[in-house]
């Protein structure tokens, strides 16, 4: 199969592929997703095959309007309506109880709930409208690898496995959406993202659980990223927790006989002597740019170098840093540089 790259001017052609049951990757403000008609079971099955994704890992359904959600979900709560008004379109995914047999088990992982999102990308919203169907959209990458933030990342992983890619340039946020479970009595964040717990609590006026990011080996996850290995490059990532740890981390790197990777903000890169055997990748100036560039940096060392070990900067575990550290910890397998 030849994978064709489409521009936003070619949305009708890309939508026709989705209508025909083909797979088309699409841009969002977070990462690129792998789209298929959410009501076409055969198409959804192809998503799992193309990614090499476990079949009990549920998919997020991307919609262009609230009315589509109401076709499938049980009546929305007042909290859900407030959050939709505040954050859609945007990087917030919400899990709702479904009407009986509303979506195929291939979409929901066999659960009676499903996750819905209204992405903040005009090209993708136009694609969904043109296809006249909601589309599933896991990250458009090989399962377990760093998520794609450009069309080129998608092409690297899935060329020849999918029919098309809608290219709208690099994504703006760089880490996947916040996943909020609204199918239980107390709202719970199952995956942190750009929409923070504090922002959600301010809108709905009630506390949100935040420590439910993992499930056991025999459990079916309600959201992506809770059970299986995610975001991992081929290289081993070591998290450098504090700014004052960098001199020792770089001294250790200098003693290694192999090339090393260093991912850090410009302040760290400028204020420390980077050894000759280390290749730098700038994460920019702050947590916003670091989140946007994290996956791109991991992919850079995977595809363009022979780096086997990467030192990567940590951020404070709050706000957007909560999402960044969630992804970085999974990329590193919870491995931290020890001083």
Q: Is 142 known to sit in a ligand binding site?
A: no
Residues 331 and 236: their CA atoms lie apart, in Å, by: 8
Residues 328 and 334: their CA atoms lie apart, in Å, by: 8
Residues 229 and 220: their CA atoms lie apart, in Å, by: 14
Q: b/e map of 260-293 (b: 16 or more CB within 10 Å)?
A: bbbbbbeebbeebebeeebbebbbeeebbebbbb
Q: Which residue has the tokens 């916040």?
A: 178
Alpha carbon of residue 266 to chain centroid: 24
Residues 9 and 112: their CA atoms lie apart, in Å, by: 38
CA-closest candidate to residue 146, choices 35, 312, 287: 312
Q: Is 230 known to sit in a ligand binding site?
A: no
- Please report which residue ranges of 150-244 form alpha helices under DSSP H: 151-158, 197-204
Q: Is 191 known to sit in a ligand binding site?
A: yes
Q: Is 129 known to sit in a ligand binding site?
A: no
Q: Is 30 known to sit in a ligand binding site?
A: yes
Q: Is 117 known to sit in a ligand binding site?
A: yes
* 98 DSSP β-pair partners: 73
Q: Is 147 known to sit in a ligand binding site?
A: yes
Q: Which residues contact 170 (CB under 8 A, 6 or more apart)?
A: 149, 150, 292, 296
Phi-psi group of 245: left, alpha or beta (phi > 0 → left; psi -120 to 50 → alpha; rest → beta): alpha
Q: Is 139 known to sit in a ligand binding site?
A: yes
Q: Is 28 known to sit in a ligand binding site?
A: no
- Residues annotated in the binding site, as ranges? 30, 53, 57, 62, 113, 117, 139, 147, 177, 191, 231
- Residues annotated in the binding site for ATP, as ranges? 53, 57, 113, 139, 147, 191, 231
- Residues annotated in the binding site for L-threonine, as ranges? 30, 62, 117, 177
């Amino acid at each position: 199969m030849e994978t064709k790259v489409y521009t936003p001017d070619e949305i009708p052609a890309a939508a026709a592929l989705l209508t025909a049951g083909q797979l088309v990757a699409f841009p969002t403000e977070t990462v690129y997703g792998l789209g298929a008609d959410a009501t076409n079971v055969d198409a959804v099955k192809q998503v799992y095959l193309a990614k090499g994704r476990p079949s009990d890992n549920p998919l997020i359904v991307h919609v262009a309007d609230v009315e589509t959600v109401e076709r499938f979900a049980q009546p929305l709560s007042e909290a859900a309506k407030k959050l939709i008004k505040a954050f859609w379109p945007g990087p917030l995914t919400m899990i709702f109880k479904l009407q009986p047999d509303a979506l195929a088990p291939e979409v929901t992982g066999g659960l009676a709930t499903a996750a819905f999102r209204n992405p903040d990308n005009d090209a993708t919203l136009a694609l969904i409208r043109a296809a006249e169907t909601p589309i599933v959209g896991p990250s458009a990458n090989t399962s377990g690898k760093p998520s794609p933030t450009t069309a080129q990342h998608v092409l690297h992983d899935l060329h020849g496995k999918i029919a098309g890619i809608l290219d709208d340039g690099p994504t703006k946020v760089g880490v996947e959406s916040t996943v909020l479970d609204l199918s239980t009595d107390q709202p719970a964040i199952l995956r942190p993202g750009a929409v923070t717990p504090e922002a959600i609590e301010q809108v709905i006026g009630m506390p949100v659980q935040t420590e439910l990011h993992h499930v056991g080996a025999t459990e079916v996850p309600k959201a992506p990223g809770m059970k299986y290995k995610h975001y991992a490059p081929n290289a081993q990532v070591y998290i450098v927790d504090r700014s004052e740890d960098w001199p020792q981390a770089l001294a250790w790197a200098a003693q290694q006989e192999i090339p090393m990777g260093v991912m850090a903000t410009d302040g760290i890169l400028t204020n420390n002597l980077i050894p000759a055997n280390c290749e730098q990748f700038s994460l920019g100036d702050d947590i916003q740019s670091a989140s946007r560039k994290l996956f791109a940096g991991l992919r850079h060392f995977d595809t363009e170098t022979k780096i086997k070990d990467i030192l990567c900067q940590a951020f404070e575990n709050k706000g957007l840093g909560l999402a960044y550290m969630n992804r970085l910890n999974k990329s590193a397998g919870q491995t931290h540089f020890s001083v």
